Amino acid sequence: MVINGVYTATVTPLKDDLSVNTDMLVEHCQNLLASGSTGIALLGTTGEANSFSVEERMQLIDAIAEGPLPNQKIMVGTGCCALPDTIRLTKTVVDHGFGGILLLPPFYYKQVTDSGLFDYFDQVIQSVAAEMSIFLYHFPKMTGVDLSMPLLEKLLTAYPNTIVGMKDSSGDWTHMRDIIKAFPDFKLFAGTEKYLLSTLKNGGAGCISATTNITIKMAAKVWLGWLSDEADVLQRELTRARSLFEGLPFVAAIKQVLASRGNLSWKYLRPPNSSISKEELDTLLENLKEFPI
């Protein structure tokens, strides 16, 4: 299956007891796909994955796999600090036939070497021992771990048909562009829709973004029209909309915008995430009125 375009890193709706609201999640994903999202990135940073136990994540993966969503349009985050947890989650995703695995590096220990990181990814792949599509998740601000160019080269040499792409949430456009140029068959997704058009023009795959939970209709227009004369204008407006969220905690801001549309269940967050202030939310909602979202 070809994986390109705009993937939404979906938020995870919760019930008032802070357990996962699977029905709401399915409905939200269906709405995103109907609004132009190419696919869904489930259980990533925006999905509060690391606030859930492995058992909770397994239960959610099972429930989504058995539901009405097209599994091939979903990539699932499986990266944990403990190697056995990552292997267990990754096996489950592969067994259910999801479209891809979004794989964080182990993120607790710092000053780890490229050799140690290679061994981690190598053991995941060898332990699962099945055909799969892994998208590395590069988010050094959150993980403290850099996926270097030499490490990427070593991984792609060893597993060219398994490690097929990356979500780069570094915010460093030069780094993203260098990866696209160095590894032309590697599917580089920008971690923000701000770089969607630049990524596509340079040969990348698209974006996997948190704020497309809100901006998906605008992002889909850029994706569908990136070769058109209107592309630059569409991208400038998309970038302006995305920029409204910067400086705010994305999970809380996105959930509170969704809650403002009528379903107050969206307001629930797993600690340590907490709500933005009423003043911040009011300003955000007022500014968003300018955009076709």
- Whole-number Å distance between alpha carbons of 217 and 20: 26
Instruction: Render pLDDT for 154-197 as a digit per residue (tens, 0 to 9).
Output: 999 999 999 999 999 999 999 999 999 999 999 999 999 999 99
Instruction: Render pLDDT for 14-34 as a digit per residue (tens, 0 to 9).
Output: 999 999 999 999 999 999 999
Give the pLDDT score at 224. Answer: 97
Give the pLDDT score at 256. Answer: 98
Quick one: pLDDT band at residue 2, thresholds 50, 70, 90? low
Give the pLDDT score at 141. Answer: 94
Architecture of domain 5-288: Alpha-Beta Barrel (3.20)
Instruction: Render pLDDT for 224-259 as a digit per residue (tens, 0 to 9).
Output: 999 999 999 999 999 999 999 999 999 999 999 999
Quick one: pLDDT band at residue 1, thresholds 50, 70, 90? low
Q: Are 132 and 90 in contact (CB under 8 A)?
A: yes
Instruction: Render pLDDT for 87-116 as a digit per residue (tens, 0 to 9).
Output: 999 999 999 999 999 999 999 999 999 999
- Whole-number Å distance between alpha carbons of 171 and 138: 10
Would you list the DSSP string of 68-100? SS-GGGEEEE---SSHHHHHHHHHHHHHHT-SE
Residue 45 burial (C-beta neighbours within 10 Å; 0-12, 13-18, 19+): buried
What backbone phi and psi angles, to 5 degrees, belong to 205? Answer: -90, -25
